[in-house]
Structure 1
Amino acid sequence: MKKKSCMAATAALLAGSACAQTSLTLFGVIDSGIEMVNNAPDANGNPSRRIHHNSGNLWGSRWGLEGSEDLGGGLRAVYHLESGFDSDTGASGQGGRLFGRRAYIGLGGKSGSVTVGRHYNVLFDLLYPFDPTGMASYSTLTHDPAFAERADNSIKYNGKFGDVTVTGLYSFGYDSTIKDGGEMAGAPGVGRELGGGLRYAPGALEIGLVFDQRHGTSYASRSQVEKRLAAGLSYNAGPLTTYLGYRWLESDVEDISGASNLYWGGLRYQATPAISLAGMTAYTDTKGSAADPLTFALLGTYDLSKRSSLYLLASYARNRGGSNMGVNGVDNQLVPGNNQTGMIAGILHQF
């Protein structure tokens, strides 16, 4: 899905290095579809059906550059620049950032890599393989979007040792769009994020365990903490893969205060080399409250080629005890007190 070029002439002119010493990859994804949801608010706040074009339903639309340079002795310099965009408007994603998905540079070797910049958090790195839909728009992200968030101003370590992958991250201020949201003089705890975990994949069985902690993004809230501990398990038996997952959350950070347990499970079936089917359910148990939403999701994909696919994604969100979760999560796209059904038909191309 990625096209590599050695850039021999450029390397020779600018660095005098051999072709094998430097690599550059241009890559990208365009994902676009039509979504229909019910019980969305109309202009008067009444439940209505909404049909619209939507970008990034299975994978976020993006383009990027990544590369490395051989420094000798098994050491290499590495970099990654990844820019998200909306395929329906052409606008930059992630709040208009040029390289809002990822932007980092570092060093790699036999003992792993250390990079600095903007990264995915460790929740995404280690739990992505345990979501049957691959963390599509309708997935575990519906219950907890922190599973696919990023950290600015961060240092990350990633190492693979046989069947074990180890990842750790520390951020001096995970969201630089917040005024004084991190890296504040005299207050190193403001906007701090740290996390770590491992994934063990000896064969058909795969297990992941991860911890992530974030602090409040103001001087007044610097001692407030948002903690997550999560685990995932998958087992592959030929064309069928089974998934189970759990996430514990405890937080006294404003707007995310409280505690909950999230449980999910599902199956993925490779019916033919071109057709795959996936189904999952996720349930949030909110501590001290009856507001416990339940969601179901189904995904079918048909590969037109190695790079192009058609897909159909559907979900049902059931709200109980005053919960207010739509198929796309807790947002303004659901009239409170209702359940919601959503469906997306789309096409995805990788280059």
Structure 2
Amino acid sequence: MFIKRKHLAAAAVAGALVSVAHAQSSVTLYGVLDESVQFTNSGKTPGGKAGPVWGLGNSANNTTVFGIRGSEDVGGGMHAIFDLESGFNLGNGASSNSADMFSRQSWVGVKDDRWGTLTLGKQYSPVTNYLCPVSAYCTFGGNTSAHVYDNDTVGGSYTVSNSVTYESPVVAGWHFGSMYAFSNAAGQFQNNRLVSAGTAYDYGPFHFAAAYMDADNLVSANNSLGAVNAGMGYTIAAGDQTIWGGGARADIGAGTVGLLYTHSSYLSLASGNSLDVRAGDDLRFDNYSVYGKYPLTHALSLGAGYTLTTEHLSGATSATLHNQQVTMEVDYGLSRRTLLYTEAAYQHVSGGNGLSLSYAEITDTGIESGSNNQTQISVGLRHNF
């Protein structure tokens, strides 16, 4: 009897393999490994003074992740798809969020060649998906070139839980996407929920994009399991967050130039936020970016970008700040998957009346400067698999 069951199990496995082959399934292990030697000229010491910081930096150019994605052709032009992705620190092997097995993405869905794609789970918002391709972040600079605090989520600092996303097919160069993320709280439909939409259009060498997002009670103490929670890398807790923006990119010859504008508002800041502002205050950001990238040879390329961020704090505390950052990068491709890079960024903040907001902090460093200036230089290696 034991032998017969063993044979049946083997037959079942063989049948499953035949079924998978017939359905033309594919499962891919993928990832990005990014590590660099970094120098930051100014970091706040325990005594509150400014001092230099040397060390290994994780994900200066691209976020370090590994993931599994798959697709199954179920017939009639339809595919079942999924993606499971986790971020981690290459320097010490620690997960970017120890509470989540897949801290970046975990979703499943269906894709139809005619009707588009529907996915459910933890995903990037349309703001990230549509505006990143017209940003310096996705063009050359990675995390180092993200806007201050990644206040507009263009850099994908967090993904959205409990979300349903629809992505249209491309028609005459145009497509759009939308997302709704549930609060998952009984009787609290709007407590930590999120809505977002985006659209893009391609015309020859030009790519245009716009996106919008609105979220209620993010990181709410009453519903930490809603659309967004603090463990996802979310920086600014507020009663309401709204983001909108648009940009364009042009491929001119072998080079690329682009510009992007985004507006982010955080209304009724929560207590215990990571910034030195009072609960109930409102904080608004306007980000203006211009950038370019040009390949000097088939392996060597140069990139540069400039961002002006205007910050308006109102309420019990009032201040207006101007945050300026210049980012430059030199890339040398050892192969299609392996890249050597050198990045340099300089940030200067004016205004702020001594608030924490007035201290420079290049987004990639995670190190608050002891002054209103900060410079970071990274020399690193990135490998995609």
Contact 1:104–1:117 under 8 Å retained in 2: yes
| Equivalent residue in structure 2 for 1:319, among 340, 345, 349 | 349
Q: 2:165 matched to which residue of 1?
A: 156
Distance change (3 Å), C-alpha of 1:220 and 1:69: closer
Letter in 1 for 2:126: V
Equivalences, count: 333
Contact 2:60–2:364 under 8 Å retained in 1: no
Letter in 2 for 1:215: D
Report the CA distance between 1:299 and its aligned residue. 1.1
**TM-score under structure 1 normalisation?**
0.88
After the TM superposition, which residues 293-332 of structure 1 pair with which residues of structure 2 at under 5 Å, given as runs? 293-322=323-352, 323-328=358-363, 332=367
Which protein has the bigger helix share?
Answer: 2
Matched, 1:142 2:154: no
Distance change (3 Å), C-alpha of 1:15 and 1:252: farther
What SS does the corresponding residue of 1:292 show, helix, strand or coil? strand
Counterpart CA distance in 1 for 2:241 and 2:53 is: 34
After the TM superposition, which residues 55-94 of structure 1 pair with which residues of structure 2 at under 5 Å, given as runs? 55-94=58-97
What SS does the corresponding residue of 1:69 show, helix, strand or coil? strand
| Equivalent residue in structure 1 for 2:34, among 16, 31, 35 | 31
Report the CA distance between 1:220 and its aligned residue. 7.8
What SS does the corresponding residue of 2:61 show, helix, strand or coil? coil
Counterpart CA distance in 1 for 2:91 and 2:350 is: 34
Q: 2:256 matched to which residue of 1?
A: 241
Bigger drift between 12-21 and 56-65 goes to 12-21
Distance change (3 Å), C-alpha of 1:95 and 1:254: farther
After the TM superposition, which residues 8-23 of structure 1 pair with which residues of structure 2 at under 5 Å, given as runs? 12-14=15-17, 16-19=19-22, 21-23=24-26
Q: 1:198 matched to which residue of 2?
A: 199
Max Rg structure: 2
After the TM superposition, which residues 104-253 of structure 1 pair with which residues of structure 2 at under 5 Å, given as runs? 104-110=107-113, 111-134=115-138, 136-145=142-151, 146-147=153-154, 148=156, 149-162=158-171, 163-172=173-182, 182-217=183-218, 218=220, 224-253=239-268
Report the CA distance between 1:47 and its aligned residue. 0.7
Counterpart CA distance in 1 for 2:163 and 2:37 is: 36
What SS does the corresponding residue of 2:127 show, helix, strand or coil? helix
Unaligned runs of 5+ in 2: 1-11, 227-237, 271-280, 314-318, 353-357
Identity of aligned residues (%): 25
Matched, 1:348 2:382: yes
Contact 1:133–1:278 under 8 Å retained in 2: no
**TM-score under structure 2 normalisation?**
0.81
Distance change (3 Å), C-alpha of 1:11 and 1:47: farther
Contact 2:69–2:81 under 8 Å retained in 1: yes
What SS does the corresponding residue of 2:91 show, helix, strand or coil? coil
Distance change (3 Å), C-alpha of 1:201 and 1:11: farther
> Deviations 1:232-267 (Å, cap 9, x if unpaired)?
111111122111010122331415832231111111
Distance change (3 Å), C-alpha of 1:332 and 1:140: closer
Counterpart CA distance in 2 for 1:298 and 1:345 is: 12
Matched, 1:277 2:302: yes
Distance change (3 Å), C-alpha of 1:251 and 1:302: same
Counterpart CA distance in 1 for 2:311 and 2:148 is: 15
Letter in 2 for 1:304: L
Distance change (3 Å), C-alpha of 1:207 and 1:11: farther
Unaligned runs of 5+ in 1: 1-8, 173-181
Q: CA RMSD in A?
A: 2.4
Counterpart CA distance in 2 for 1:279 and 1:267 is: 6
Contact 2:193–2:215 under 8 Å retained in 1: yes
Distance change (3 Å), C-alpha of 1:270 and 1:160: farther
Counterpart CA distance in 2 for 1:44 and 1:128 is: 38
Counterpart CA distance in 1 for 2:348 and 2:144 is: 13
| Equivalent residue in structure 2 for 1:44, among 37, 43, 47 | 47
